Chains A and B, each alone.
Chain A
Amino acid sequence: MPCLQRVSLRGASAFAGLVAASTLVANVARAQDADGALSGRHNNYASPQHFEAELRFAPFSPAIDSDPSLHGATPYATVFGTSPRILVSAELDWQVIRFPHFGTLGPGVGIGYTAMSAAALFASPHGPTQTLISGETTSLDIFPFDAVAVLRIDVLWRDVGIPIVPYLKAGFGMSLWRATNTLGTSVYTTGTGQSVAGEGHSIGTHFAAGVGFNLNVLDEYAARSWDEAMGVNGTYLFAEWAREDLDGLGLQADPLRVGGTSWNFGLAFEF
């Protein structure tokens, strides 16, 4: 918990710094804006805005070892180590409802992919060197999906001109996963002789909070051109904290905990 608090304080400080810097950038730009083209408001020239698309990247480690049924054992860390892997994901949000002078609310769906691979271990020391590192590869592929409600608070940008848009997401997540070895999908034979394939899905909750920095303030004319040509109203650089608890929601007794907590960074486009 103290660790979480430290993270929160650090995040708050970073957010405050970002707001200040953004305000400064916006004011400088506005001072040079003779015809008002740099206004953050949804001007007449702007195309209709209903959607947002995100492409993001995150260092990610699934919380597999947090499974209570493992009783403290760490099969994931034992095999794949503790270094995070890159999670690539994309999301499409529909800004269904606009609250004047506040923001938008609507559903969104996301999809992602990450994988980890390592040398499989011999069941017992092998050869004259008694090595445990085999020539086989063991891998885990994860395909996260999520369906969330997205609240984007863009009043700062649209009404005040500060190019900062915080947002919140909450919903459900589901990940497909597949464990493989050199021969294909892993198969485990239980004591009763039943074969269990190393693939499945895990369901749970998905929460995220983030903040986007509107890049339109850096080059308003290019932004306007892109809007006219492509219908893109705003381009954002964003950072997002996300947590996905794929514990089965009480509906799955013991899913593979392929969710986790991650910091995501990426680009977002409103159109």
Chain B
Amino acid sequence: MSVCQPLAKFTVAVVAAAAILFAPGAARAQTINASGQPYPNREVNGVSLGESTRPQNLNPLGINYSDCIQNMVLVYSVTLSGFGVANNDNMQVWATNEGDCTADVTRGLGGTSSVEASCWLVNVGLTQPNLQTPTTKQFSIPVQALVGPQTDTIPKAGTLVTAQGPAACLTQPSFAATSITVWFLPLQSNGLLDTGGTPFSQTITADVVGPPAPTNVAIGDGDTLFSMTWMPNMDTDTIGYDIFIDPPPGSGAVVDAGFVPPTPTLYCPDAHAPVTSVTTDAASDGPSDGALASDGALASDDASEDAAELEASASDSAVDATLATTGDAATTATDAGSGCIYINMAPSPPANTGSTCTSTVLTSGTLVVDSGVATTEDSGIDTGATAIETFDEAGLLVETDSGATESGTGGIASITCQYLVGASCSSPAATAYSNTGNPTVTGETISAYVIKGLTNGQTYDVVISAVDGSGNVGPPSTCVDDYPAPVNDFFKIYRQDGGQAGGSFCALEAVGAPAGAPIVGMAFGAVAFTMARRRRRNRR
């Protein structure tokens, strides 16, 4: 072997290295940077909606169920540079709900078979682009592709995840929001990360599941109103509650055919029997001339009229024991003198009172069921599919297609806006699964609301959904129903009993001497003026 042979090889190697080193563009690293637009633009059906479609208090830059179900597309503007023929790198867009996609194993590469991918490809990006100078490119990513593969159904590396359809909007495993990070990666032709490049990432909050339904929903009936109460739910990002009622107030609903208005009757306790019927007007208005007086609001002289006793007996449905004295006769009484009082006969309740709700529109909702978890436990088979079931009235799903017992963790209401109480809607027919305005009630811990403007005697069905910080309207609560009815408050009873006070703070009630109260007021004023004047004089 000649001594010149190794020297020749060394010389060739040096020259080759120098050629690579000084080749045009070879020394420039790939960088991917965000452009001046920090958040993606939103498009639905090709129409740009800007960076945000919601108020600031409703996670405007994140993803909610409404975005997903509309098949919204996020358009990212990203500035690329350093990509050249010399490095042959590609640029791809990946997403993950576990934070990082720069490790090759997270994309299903370079690891052992036991390593599961946690990132999925959402845009194939650019193949060997020649972008040596900074250039802004736009990349569209369907929301359904971002939120779809959140469970263990992430496809293999290289498989592009496209819009998954509505089913993708129900894959979030719980009502808690998740963070999805979008990665713009410089990759070698074999898919491995080019460690010489600089990736860019942006994290977006995704919450496509509404809060759990409020529990213990109850109606307190009043005069043309419902006083609703409920137990607040446990989702900490709850911002309020939407209340739905069927039929909507003011919708021209007809009083239930089963409702019979009270029949005013002149009742004489000593005789223990109704003796004379009177007109409705006379009884409802009470004695307007003050000549008639009352023994109280209750009918019987023999029965206790103590309010506490009344409450106790009423709660036990033992009204008859304290109020009614003969047959069905009961309550609201106005003394007609000589031992007789006007009473209202107990009305027939609406036909469906006491039964379950009859509304079909209020009992619908969608429950997220992670069947990949639950059915595996029960049957040992992971179907890898996501089941979508309809809520029952109890708000819980107990049967799935596989026959396994499961329960969901959240969901979305699918009630149209025309049944929404006290909140704005884009249109009556729109589904209220995303409250883009203000909910009926604002505040996580609020647990009461008064629905006004109802028709006495009309049965209404009511459900309540919680609204989260992303505007998702959760599944409806158990449906409750009842009917409003006339109520006698203190002032009405006082007036019916013959009292004459009232009018306004400044009114002279049933005046005998019109100037009375002002005179007293002037006297008070004179005393105050005298005091002030004397004080000034003393100072001098």
Tell yes or no: A124 within 8 A of B by CB: yes
The residue from B226, B310, B506 contacting A201, defined by CB atoms under 8 A apart: B506
Contact in complex: A69, B222 (CB < 8 Å): no
A-chain residues with CB within 8 Å of residue B285 when the two chains form the complex: 189-191
Contact in complex: A183, B520 (CB < 8 Å): no
The residue from A73, A94, A136, A176 contacting B225, defined by CB atoms under 8 A apart: A136
- Using a CB–CB cutoff of 8 Å, the interface residues on chain A facing chain B are 64, 67, 69-82, 94, 96, 107, 109, 118-140, 145, 147, 172, 174, 176, 178-183, 186-192, 196-203, 248-256
Min Cβ gap A270→B in Å is 17
Contact in complex: B288, A192 (CB < 8 Å): yes
- Using a CB–CB cutoff of 8 Å, the interface residues on chain B facing chain A are 219-223, 225-227, 262, 281-282, 285-290, 293-298, 305-308, 310-311, 314-315, 317, 319-320, 323-324, 330-332, 335, 344-347, 349, 353-354, 450, 452, 482-483, 485-495, 497-513, 515-517, 519-521, 523-524, 527-528, 531, 534
Whether A132 touches B310, Cβ cut-off 8 Å, given contacts A127-B482, A181-B487, is yes
Contact in complex: A251, B335 (CB < 8 Å): no
The residue from B226, B286, B488 contacting A135, defined by CB atoms under 8 A apart: B226
> Top 10 nearest A-B pairs by Cβ distance?
A135-B220, A251-B516, A191-B288, A71-B293, A198-B491, A136-B222, A186-B491, A138-B489, A179-B491, A256-B501
The residue from B450, B504, B513, B516 contacting A199, defined by CB atoms under 8 A apart: B504
The residue from B314, B498, B516, B524 contacting A252, defined by CB atoms under 8 A apart: B516
The residue from B490, B521, B534 contacting A186, defined by CB atoms under 8 A apart: B490
Q: 29 A-B pairs, CB-CB below 8 angstroms?
A: A70-B293, A70-B294, A71-B335, A71-B498, A73-B335, A76-B494, A78-B298, A80-B490, A81-B308, A121-B297, A121-B487, A122-B487, A127-B221, A127-B354, A132-B310, A134-B487, A135-B221, A135-B227, A145-B524, A179-B489, A189-B285, A190-B495, A191-B282, A198-B502, A199-B502, A199-B505, A251-B516, A253-B509, A255-B509
A-chain residues with CB within 8 Å of residue B534 when the two chains form the complex: 96
Min Cβ gap A84→B in Å is 14
Contact in complex: A124, B345 (CB < 8 Å): yes
A-B contact count (CB 8 A): 292
Contact in complex: A254, B347 (CB < 8 Å): no
The residue from A76, A123, A133 contacting B315, defined by CB atoms under 8 A apart: A133
Whether A127 touches B349, Cβ cut-off 8 Å, given contacts A121-B488, A250-B512, is yes
Min Cβ gap A194→B in Å is 9
The residue from A73, A130, A133, A179 contacting B498, defined by CB atoms under 8 A apart: A73
A-chain residues with CB within 8 Å of residue B296 when the two chains form the complex: 73-75, 78
Contact in complex: A203, B516 (CB < 8 Å): yes
Identify 20 new A-B residue pairs, CB closer than 8 A, beyond the known A125-B347, A137-B227, A254-B501: A69-B293, A69-B498, A70-B294, A70-B499, A73-B296, A76-B494, A120-B487, A128-B354, A130-B319, A133-B314, A135-B220, A136-B487, A172-B520, A174-B524, A183-B452, A191-B289, A251-B516, A251-B519, A253-B512, A256-B502
The residue from A123, A138, A200, A203 contacting B486, defined by CB atoms under 8 A apart: A123
Contact in complex: A253, B500 (CB < 8 Å): yes
B-chain residues with CB within 8 Å of residue A197 when the two chains form the complex: 502-504
